[in-house]
């Protein structure tokens, strides 16, 4: 099994005759990403190499690759080739929410602080959000993001044990030095390919008020997020509480982000 040739023997694939050739190419590429043959950041074979392997035309290969680029699985670099999409170019501590006074202002630099060791238990609400059985076991990771020792965001992440069996072996120091989405990509070869969010305004209650150092009843922004990876697999359910009294949340959306 090598990184410069696709592997086309996985049982997840339907017989070749039942699918168009471009779909066969796409499914094989996704299978190689899902089983770890190709990792985020790896360059996949050339169009000619894929055409020879699948006995397909260059046009069919380009159609297959373009579809995976548009879906966010691959990225193309002019003059260099086609790569498995990764998240490594995003090195900010809080990828999804950036604080700034206005569009032209620099975003605040945030530091991560874990509030307690990673715990394991059932989380029926997270299971329901991820369409998993209610007795699914989740790792539970609470963190606070600070700017100059001022708490800005309280985050609780839930990750299924079946997907991340040794997640509790990651040290708290690693969690504080490396954003979660990068840890997941680096350790488990799983890039974040899409997120879905539900946003609401809430009043601070006893727990999050104490962590964010605000008065009970203070207005907070509450964001639920579901992160997915290869083959639309949900891998994280996250609840965040953000204190935005004198800062704005800046979002810059790009294609396939």
Cβ–Cβ < 8 Å for 175, 114: yes
Query: Per residue of the chain (257 residues), what is the pLDDT tens digit?
Result: 345 666 654 433 334 456 788 888 988 888 888 777 888 788 999 999 999 999 999 999 999 998 888 777 788 888 889 988 765 444 444 455 678 777 777 777 888 999 999 999 999 999 999 999 999 999 999 999 998 889 999 999 999 999 999 999 999 999 998 888 888 888 888 878 778 899 999 999 999 999 999 999 999 999 999 998 877 889 999 999 999 888 888 776 543 33
* DSSP H helix total and E strand total for the chain: 7, 11
**Distance in angstroms (rounded) separating the CA atoms of residues 114 and 175:** 7
- The reported pTM is 0.69
Q: Which of these, 140, 244, 130, lies nearest to 196 by C-alpha position? A: 130
List of E strands, 33-161: 74-77, 81-84, 98-100, 111-114, 119-122, 137-147, 150-160
**Distance in angstroms (rounded) separating the CA atoms of residues 242 and 74:** 32
Q: Would you call 4 exposed, middle or buried from its count of C-beta atoms within 10 A (0-12, 13-18, 19+)?
A: exposed
């Amino acid at each position: 099994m090598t990184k410069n040739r696709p592997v086309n023997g996985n049982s997840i694939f339907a017989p070749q005759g039942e699918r168009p050739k471009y779909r066969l190419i796409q499914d094989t590429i996704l299978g190689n990403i899902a089983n770890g043959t190709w990792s985020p950041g790896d360059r996949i074979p050339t169009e000619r190499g894929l055409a020879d392997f699948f006995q397909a035309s260059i046009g069919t290969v380009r159609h297959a690759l373009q579809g995976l680029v548009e879906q966010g699985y691959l990225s193309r670099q002019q003059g260099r080739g086609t790569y498995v999409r990764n998240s490594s170019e995003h090195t900010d501590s809080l990828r999804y929410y950036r604080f700034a006074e206005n569009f032209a202002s620099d975003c605040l630099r945030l530091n991560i602080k874990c509030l307690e060791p990673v715990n394991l238990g059932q989380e029926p609400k997270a299971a329901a959000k991820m369409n998993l059985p209610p007795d699914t076991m989740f790792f539970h990771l609470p963190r606070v993001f600070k700017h100059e020792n001022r708490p800005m965001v309280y985050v609780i992440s839930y990750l299924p044990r079946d997907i991340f069996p040794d997640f509790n072996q990651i040290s708290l120091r690693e969690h504080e030095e490396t954003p979660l989405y990068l840890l997941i990509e680096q350790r488990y070869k799983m890039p974040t390919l899409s997120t879905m969010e539900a946003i609401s305004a809430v009043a601070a209650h006893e727990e999050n008020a104490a962590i964010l150092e605000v008065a009970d009843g203070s207005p907070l922004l509450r964001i639920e997020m579901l992160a997915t990876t290869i083959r639309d697999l949900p891998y994280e359910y996250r609840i965040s509480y953000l204190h935005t009294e004198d800062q704005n949340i800046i979002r810059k959306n790009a294609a396939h982000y």
